[in-house]
Amino acid sequence: MRFERKFFIQHLSRQSVEAMIYQHPAAFRPLFQPRQVNSLYFDTFDFTDLEDQVDGNMLREKYRIRWYGSWAEEVNQPFLEIKKKVGLLGEKERFELKPFHWSEIQDADAFISKIASQLPPLPALALRARRPSLYLAYQRRYWLSQDGKYRLTLDWDMRYAQPRAPLAFVSGDKESLILELKYDQVDDRGAERISSFFPMRVTRSSKYGMGMGR
């Protein structure tokens, strides 16, 4: 399992935050090319996953289909990601999926059945108790510390849409940034030194919660 420390930033430019990253004594270097991250979230009929997150419950889960690149009606190389958290610790399970067309989401029951048929029994059962709840897209950059123990991601241009076809973004946030520090549990002792370099507070923020108005 690993830790994630999030910094929700509203009054600094992306260029300023990136300058801080490059000046960090941990010598962060770029990892991967910047890319768009797409997530289709699922939740129960009474939004249990969202409420667990808002209430700060110790055990929390998120179910989402994720893929990378510009939005297109034909979704290629998607994977189901189950994000599980116990307090501040988290882990992810991933399952590769077959491509699908965005219009398939219109028939939620058929879409869920199609995705569940590609999963092991337990994740399939959990997914069948959920329905598409939110589409989220944002831009992301990645960095890795020189010792390879700490990773940073910087997200911006967050856009939200109801999972219906045709796609129509109903809200967004082009001003805020989310910086995340991610590291394995065994490296927690050094994380305070890493995060203390940034003049922002660690916050408990969630892009899913933001998109759902919470």
Segment 154-209, tens digit of pLDDT: 999 999 998 876 777 777 888 899 999 999 999 998 899 999 999 888 887 789 99
Supply 154's token pair: 């910087």
- Across-strand partners of 165? none
What pLDDT is recorded for position 82? Answer: 97
What domains appear along the chain, each with residue ranges and CATH number? 2-211 (3.20.100.30)
Contact 66, 81 (CB under 8 A): yes
Per-residue pLDDT tens, the chain, 214 aa: give them.
Answer: 899 899 999 889 999 999 999 999 999 999 989 999 999 999 999 999 999 887 777 788 999 999 999 888 899 999 999 999 887 788 999 999 999 999 999 999 999 999 999 999 999 999 999 999 999 999 999 999 999 999 999 999 999 998 876 777 777 888 899 999 999 999 998 899 999 999 888 887 789 998 888 6
Contact 39, 66 (CB under 8 A): yes
